[in-house]
A and B are shown apart, each in its own frame.
Chain A
Amino acid sequence: MKEYRLIGKRLPRIDARDKVKGRALYTDDISMPGMLYGLILRSPYAHAKIVKIDTSRALKLPGVKAVVTGEDTAKVKFGVISRSRKFIDEYPLAVDKVRFIGEEVAAVAATDPDAAMEALDLIEVEYQELPAVFDPEEAQKPGAPQIHEHAPGNISREHHMKKGDPDRAFKECDLVREDTFTTQSAIHAYMEPRAALASWDLTDKLMVYTSTQTPYYVQQHLGRTLGMNPDNIRIIKPFVGGGFGGKSDGLSAVEFSAALLSKHAGRPVKIVCSRDEEFTAARRKHPASITMKTGVKKDGTIVARQSRAILDGGAYCSLGPLTTVLMGTFQTLPFRFEHFQYDGYRIYTNKPPCGAMRGHGGPQVHFAQDAQLDMIAEELDLDPVEMALKNGLKTGDESAAGFKIVSSGFAECLRKVSEAADWQDKKRTEKNDPKKAYGIGLGCGGFPSGAGFYFNKTTSAHSSVIIKAGEGGGLSVLTGASDIGQGSDSVVCQIVAEVLGLPIEDIHITSADTEITPPDMGTYSSRVTVAAGNAALNAAKAAREALFKVVADKFEASPDDLLAEEQKIFVKGSPEIYTSFVDAVNLYQKKNQGSPLVVKGSYNSPDPLSPTYSFGAYICEVEVDLRTGELTVLRYTVGHDCGQPLNPMSVEGQIEGCISMGMGYAISEDLRFDGGQTLNPSFLGYAMPTANQMPKIEITHVVTDDPHGPFGAKETGEGSLDPVAPAIVNAVYNATGVRIKDLPITSGKILQGLKDKDR
């Protein structure tokens, strides 16, 4: 592999010092003179007509400056997938009807938070309760309550795909297995609750600071719902405390209500969600029931797959229509299927809407897929690693869903982890301790590095970057890419610095401010490193080309013979003939009537699905207490192909974070409901992993030089999650013989499984 000056190095993040000093400002850390505190009134009913809302008592309360309801809005629906009208199904403040407990009904702004809280109690809403439905199977039955008029049978989206002829192919298989797997309701639980601070200037332009993954979409959707030209709206993303898909809906009632309240009150308004609101009313992951049928040859070659998924969508679309598709297509990574069929149904229920969460449909289907392949391997007396090697997608392959694999390190990932974890020996560990059992299991994954398509109608590129050179030799870099903690600001600076031979400290980034930075679709679908990274690379190359031209003229050399390194531009092979970078910038200005050096670069995926795909193989080791069913995750051995890791520390951080999140998904995290009411809306109730529960993690970077990624880099933020849960499930089986098909794996389920086995 080529050695770079900055690429591939373990560099501190550019914002690390601000973060450790407590100086990084998140939305709730920002205040404005005259600012009011906003709160949202939420529906106590899962399904009801709004008969009447009386806000007069609330408005009379001292300190209250504005109260708004759906009646004060333009009554325009939004939906993040705005290309299709039927996915635009939600009012930012409820109009006529509420469809889940926690739905936004009204909002207040007051001079202090206590007055705002009191005002919420003074808003009188008359509801007429309607029959509600909470189970997706029930919701499809004739006579079930209709949640939306446009969706008979409460089908929010169905998606069907077929390649080859699975029915015929199954007849020619040596083994066909069909199993049903179910998954629970899980939620992002980002540490920073959603927040927005809105203000209007004297010319009626709106400015909103918001905790979002997608400032560009917020601008567009706020324009639509407020009846404004989006160009009159400025969205600024300050530091964001995590998102994981939960802040990627393009708009939330938080931003909308802050903007509308501010308009009514004529003062800035800040709304910060409580943790209870986040757990009861925010977006979450789709619970799913997946029936999977897989046919294989005796030697383990996978021939055919047929699957059907029912997604519990909750009350509105959010990103769910896409989840419905992805739960089919993501099954085709990282394995080959000659014959493939998928039927997905997303069903409306009277529960909080489900949308995108890290992995976006992948964790659900990879749990099912890897658990089933583990069962198949056992039945055929094959090694799951060997079977994965036999079926894994290679460079040049195309998956059954049409994913074109331009680089695959999957086989090497498998070989590396199998060796590093001592898989062959540990797999056969004797189970003769009556108290404790040790087990080992495999999980596999592959993931697109960004969607190649758009959610909305736009002529903008997926990502664009503008570079402006200062006469002191520093570069201003403007990018719409949204750093929500994954480190995109650092990656963009690193790429620009590498290309131009500058220290990172000379790169000054402004990101995610729609007034200043060029459009960028945002942080979702693991797209930022490849899309914004390539846009930064293209812009940096344009800057280099412009500077090389004037320097080449000066030296009477060809631009092709120049190099940019160590803040200098010099002739290859003659390091003594150089001009400093700062002189080159000023030379450019002199030659161009003083006009500053401003260049831009953009990126669009060359493929409508995705430019490229990451791969991974994870081996998990567990210990199970056979008397109590208590499960301890001991170790993960990870092989991951994200192309060329731009910053190995950041890549490892993504993988380690995915292991924590995937472990929570596998063993403890579960939002429980009584009807439409969330029963455990708190951190401790939700039970995500803490530091003392984390296993040892050993990571091997399998470096592939991807042809599309910037410096050969691919995604790592989402694909890393997919193998985590199934690896635990398979390890539990290896330890105990108990096969879990229903997440999460509780000690109760393990004990029950042990009892059933003894019978």
Chain B
Amino acid sequence: MERKKISFILNGKSQELHIQPWRTLLEIIREDLQLTGTKEGCGEGECGSCTVMMGDKTVNSCLVPAVEADNMEITTIEGLADGDNLDPIQEAFVSYAGMQCGFCTPGMIMSAKELLESNPNPNEEEIREGIAGNFCRCTGYTKIIESISAAAEGMQGGE
């Protein structure tokens, strides 16, 4: 099968890959680009563990054919921190114990990122809805909601 060339921006850097057209965005992120922060929890678009940003929207990368990333800007969990400086959302997850096992965490943080970029000052209901596509089995979501809320407040205060 003929490979297809795709070019895209990944975490701020341009990438060019020649891929088999049936491969998913998740597969090329984890296997070809060795960025294992993005997790596969189900491979069926149901759990949200593989959430990444494609442009300014989140997608379940396990459902997205990698060819659709062509000419797009992709951000994964590895693209949020600037060296040791965490994104305010990441910082809040650390301070407010927004994770336990950590497996859903990268996807959860990406969903929070999209939420706060489109709605910098969400109320609690909006936060709950914003992460309703991401399953977490450990935390009961409570501390995740607190973390996102604290991140939003911190980001507001910083402006």
Q: Residues of A at under 8 Å CB distance from B?
A: 10, 12-13, 15-26, 28-29, 188-193, 239-242, 244, 274-275, 484-487, 649-650, 652-653, 655-661, 682-684, 688-692, 694, 697
Given contacts A660-B140, A688-B135, contact A20 B103 (CB under 8 A): no
Q: Does B155 contact A (CB under 8 A)?
A: no
Residues in B with CB closer than 8 Å to A24 are 102
Is the Cβ of A656 less than 8 Å from the Cβ of B140?
yes
Residue from B39, B44, B78 within 8 A of A192 (CB atoms)? B39
The range of chain B's interface size is 35 or more
Residue from B97, B103, B129, B132 within 8 A of A26 (CB atoms)? B103
- Bound Cα distance from A650 to B101, whole angstroms: 12
Is the Cβ of B140 less than 8 Å from the Cβ of A16?
no
Q: Does B137 contact A (CB under 8 A)?
A: yes
Comparing B2-10, B63-71, B141-149, the segment that makes contact with chain A is B141-149
Is the Cβ of A275 less than 8 Å from the Cβ of B138?
no
Fill in one digit per residue for B114-136: 1 if any A CB lies within 8 Å of its CB, else 0.
Answer: 00000000000101110111111
Residue from B43, B95, B135, B139 within 8 A of A690 (CB atoms)? B135
- Bound Cα distance from A689 to B138, whole angstroms: 11
Q: Does B100 contact A (CB under 8 A)?
A: yes
**Least distance between B43 CB and chain A CB atoms (Å):** 6
Given contacts A13-B97, A697-B142, contact A22 B106 (CB under 8 A): yes
**Least distance between B108 CB and chain A CB atoms (Å):** 9
Residues in B with CB closer than 8 Å to A656 are 139-143
Is the Cβ of A21 less than 8 Å from the Cβ of B103?
no
**Least distance between B56 CB and chain A CB atoms (Å):** 20
The residue in A20, A24, A275 that gathers the most chain B C-beta atoms within 10 A of its C-beta is A20
**Least distance between B32 CB and chain A CB atoms (Å):** 12
Q: Does B94 contact A (CB under 8 A)?
A: yes
Fill in one digit per residue for B31-49: 1 if any A CB lies within 8 Å of its CB, else 0.
Answer: 0000111111111101101
Is the Cβ of B43 less than 8 Å from the Cβ of A274?
yes
**Least distance between B122 CB and chain A CB atoms (Å):** 12
Is the Cβ of A20 less than 8 Å from the Cβ of B109?
yes
User: Nearest residue in B to A656 (C-beta to C-beta)?
Assistant: B140
Is the Cβ of B77 less than 8 Å from the Cβ of A21?
yes
Fill in one digit per residue for B20-34: 1 if any A CB lies within 8 Å of its CB, else 0.
Answer: 000000000010000
Is the Cβ of B143 less than 8 Å from the Cβ of A649?
yes
Q: Does B61 contact A (CB under 8 A)?
A: no
User: Nearest residue in B to A663 (C-beta to C-beta)?
Assistant: B140
User: Nearest residue in B to A655 (C-beta to C-beta)?
Assistant: B140
Pull 18 A–B residue pairs with CB atoms less than 8 Å apart, ordered by A. A19-B105, A20-B98, A21-B77, A21-B86, A21-B90, A23-B37, A29-B36, A191-B39, A191-B136, A242-B138, A274-B43, A653-B100, A656-B141, A691-B128, A691-B131, A691-B132, A694-B140, A697-B140
Residue from A20, A659, A691 within 8 A of B145 (CB atoms)? A691
> Restricting to B73-110, which residues have a CB under 8 Å from any CB of A?
76-78, 80-81, 86, 90-91, 93-106, 109
Is the Cβ of B97 less than 8 Å from the Cβ of A192?
no
- Bound Cα distance from A241 to B37, whole angstroms: 13
- Bound Cα distance from A20 to B37, whole angstroms: 9
User: Nearest residue in B to A484 (C-beta to C-beta)?
Assistant: B101
Is the Cβ of A683 less than 8 Å from the Cβ of B128?
no
Is the Cβ of B97 less than 8 Å from the Cβ of A16?
yes
**Least distance between A190 CB and chain B CB atoms (Å):** 6
Is the Cβ of B36 less than 8 Å from the Cβ of A189?
no
Is the Cβ of A649 less than 8 Å from the Cβ of B97?
yes
Is the Cβ of A275 less than 8 Å from the Cβ of B140?
no
Residues in B with CB closer than 8 Å to A22 are 35-38, 76-78, 105-106
Is the Cβ of A12 less than 8 Å from the Cβ of B95?
yes
- Bound Cα distance from A18 to B103, whole angstroms: 11
**Least distance between A451 CB and chain B CB atoms (Å):** 23
Given contacts A20-B93, A21-B77, contact A15 B135 (CB under 8 A): no
Residue from A25, A28, A484, A657 within 8 A of B140 (CB atoms)? A657
**Least distance between A220 CB and chain B CB atoms (Å):** 25
Residues in B with CB closer than 8 Å to A655 are 140
User: Nearest residue in A to B104 (C-beta to C-beta)?
Assistant: A191
Is the Cβ of B46 less than 8 Å from the Cβ of A691?
no
Is the Cβ of B46 less than 8 Å from the Cβ of A21?
no
- Bound Cα distance from A419 to B77, whole angstroms: 44
* Pairs of residues from A and B, 5 with the lowest C-beta to C-beta distance, nearest first: A22-B37, A485-B101, A241-B103, A19-B102, A656-B140
- Bound Cα distance from A188 to B138, whole angstroms: 10
**Least distance between B17 CB and chain A CB atoms (Å):** 17
- Bound Cα distance from A755 to B37, whole angstroms: 51
- Bound Cα distance from A189 to B43, whole angstroms: 14
Given contacts A21-B86, A191-B41, A659-B140, contact A694 B128 (CB under 8 A): yes
